[in-house]
Amino acid sequence: MQILTTPVFNERKKRTEWLYSHFKHLFNKSSVLDVGCYEAPMRYFIGRKNYIGIDFVGNPDIKINLESIKKLPFPAKKFDTVICIEVLEHLNNLYEISQDLFRVSKSSVLISLPNCWRDARVKLQKGRGSFAHYGLPIKKPMDRHKWFFSTYEAIQFLESIKPSDYELKIILTEPKRNFLVKTFRKLWYSKTAYQNKFCQTIWAEFQKIK
């Protein structure tokens, strides 16, 4: 398992640039399904010919409310690569959709999940502040999280959905921080505690065994 340092992504486009650069081997000459694409920034990198994005808001190629379905509306092995980037935590039907990602893939599935504990822990300790995607806002939000989990729980879940004919590689990312602070934290906390407190995103790359 790797832990990579990334820049702070203040917008989806920047995160997509990093995603395309780091996982470029999944996108070369591939047909790609982007599940929960929102504004579909990945379309710019892959090109319209090889890309289909689905969502119920934003700028998808096909409008689909993922929470209203049990199966994706595509035949088996339709796409070379299927990506689902920070989407599953928004869905009540997380278990059904996560399993169906593999049905429509020929060879690769890429899933990312946020570490919800990271952004909540300081506010919980201080007893003040509100949590993005949680809480009880006055106006109904469009992108509520339905699940609250740690890095450790996310890894367990991702391992549990791996089909027997796939290999799984887990990558954790965290924002760039002071070297001495980072070193002290790694020495002070256990491996699991460090990952739960400070890692920001869990990436799971599933590759079909040839």
8 Å CB contact between 21 and 46: no
Structural domains of the chain ordered from first start: 2-208 (3.40.50.150)
Q: What is the pLDDT of residues 175-210, one digit of tens each?
A: 888 888 888 888 898 999 989 999 999 999 999 998
8 Å CB contact between 194 and 174: no
Per-residue confidence (pLDDT) for residue 60, from 0 to 100:
96
What does the alpha-carbon distance between residue 210 and residue 56 come to, in Å, rounded to a whole number? 35
Q: What six digits make up the tokens of 156?
A: 């367990």
Confidence class of residue 18 from pLDDT cuts 50, 70 and 90?
very high
Average pLDDT, the chain: 91
What does the alpha-carbon distance between residue 60 and residue 46 come to, in Å, rounded to a whole number? 14
Most confident of the ranges 8-22, 121-135, 166-180 = 166-180
Q: What is the pLDDT of residues 50-92, one digit of tens each?
A: 999 999 999 999 999 999 998 999 999 999 999 999 999 999 9
pLDDT above 80 for 49: yes
Confidence class of residue 15 from pLDDT cuts 50, 70 and 90?
confident
H/E run at residue 110: strand 105-114
Confidence class of residue 35 from pLDDT cuts 50, 70 and 90?
very high
pLDDT above 80 for 7: no
Per-residue confidence (pLDDT) for residue 88, from 0 to 100:
97
> Alpha helix (H) ranges present in 67-190?
94-103, 116-126, 151-160, 179-188
Residues near 29 by beta carbon (within 8 Å), at least 6 away in sequence? 50
What does the alpha-carbon distance between residue 36 and residue 129 come to, in Å, rounded to a whole number? 28
H/E run at residue 83: strand 79-85
Q: What is the pLDDT of residues 90-138, one digit of tens each?
A: 999 999 999 999 999 999 999 999 998 887 877 877 788 777 788 888 8
